[in-house]
Structure 1
Amino acid sequence: MPLLFVEVDNCHESEEELADKLEKYARFFQRQVKDTDGQERPMWRTRWPAPDGQLGYDVPHPPVLLVFHRVGDRNPDRTVPRLADLTRHLWQGQWDRDGYHRYDQKIPIIATGLNNLRKHGPAGAVFQRFGRTDMQTLTDAIGNPRKDAAHARARAAQIARQAAYEAEQQRKAEQRAAKREAKRPACAECGDKFPDDRWEAADNYPKATSRWHPTLCENCESHARVAALQAEQAERERREQEEAAAAAEAARRAGGWLARFRS
């Protein structure tokens, strides 16, 4: 059950007397006191827990439920319309352009009959909120279904806009990625695409050396290095062989001249 202030009437009091009681409720709800944290708050909130938005109502004042028990001579069917007119300033909301009423600083006033409660139970559609014509369940009578529907539509529209925005951002990101991928260099030897780090290194150091080949992938560069080392080794061996041959030839010639002198 939500927080309710219940006023039971045995149909003895006049509409003016009941209206005066509702005025007292309004003054009571407006009474301010300092809470334990030193902040000013409505006094009733320091006595009874009632979070904002409970069961759909988001007004600072809790509802007042009028339960009519037809014992006296007054007819509730005539009392309620007259009482609603007398207390209109207490409960009437302001129309919002989003399609619902706002009830800031207003009191939800709900009426029902004890016979209807006995017949249909507290969960039945036996409650009439002042300003409405249909009988409703207590939850709907206290709440603001039009506001709930408007907020649901707004949330759905926001979700749709967010989804469309994210889809557009994803599409743009994919386009940027595709354009970037189209520029990605490939190995001049095997044709494999460069990974990002290799691409960045090739852009930063475009000049080739004996140990750095910006147009080759890492694997092909490794093979190129091995081939270069092998070529260097072969060149050294060739030079060494040439030098050894030249030295042998020089020694042979020198030996021939010495033999002539000895003879």
Structure 2
Amino acid sequence: MAGKRITNPAGSTNQYRGDVLRVLGALKVATADQIQRFGAPHLTFRHADKETPSKQKQARTASHSGALSDMRKHGLSENGGSTETGDALRNLTPKGLEAASCELRRPAGEMGSTARGAGSSGASHPMAVNETVIAMLRPKPNMAKLADDPPHVQAAAQAAVDGPDGIGTIASYWTEVPLPATGTWNAPGKGGA
């Protein structure tokens, strides 16, 4: 069995698994495409030579899809349905949320819950929230990773780098905020939701 990957058969790296934990820890549910745009924005400019947009997207997201596959094998992530366009939604398990708390440097008690069931209806609201966070963060591609790419790819990436900076990092965003719960639904207490 020499040379066979046993621990991570999809060949994922710590970097890509870390991207998945940070994004899903903060946003709770996302597609592989969204995870790629947050974690490795330089890949957005690659694979423009593929015949169709579908094949371009598949090539761009292959590394993060592999990381998701390996994490699913270890019980950290799971498939959570699909969007209206057919993209698979991914979310973390309770074990995955615990791992994400280390990546995001947050106490496990503040991580919120898993997004189980969010994808059963296409998750249109979470997808809109994710796109808003991407627009606010404006992830910049690493130009050093595009050094061997064609000039038109480098020019497109440089335009993104030269654009205005975004606001914060993925760790500075929360999609769940714990509310104080006092009283009951019929008679809420002081400070309750």
Q: Which has the higher contact order (CA 8 A, sep 6+)?
A: 2
Using structure 1 for the length normalisation, give the TM-score.
Answer: 0.23
The structure with more helix, counted as a fraction of residues: 1
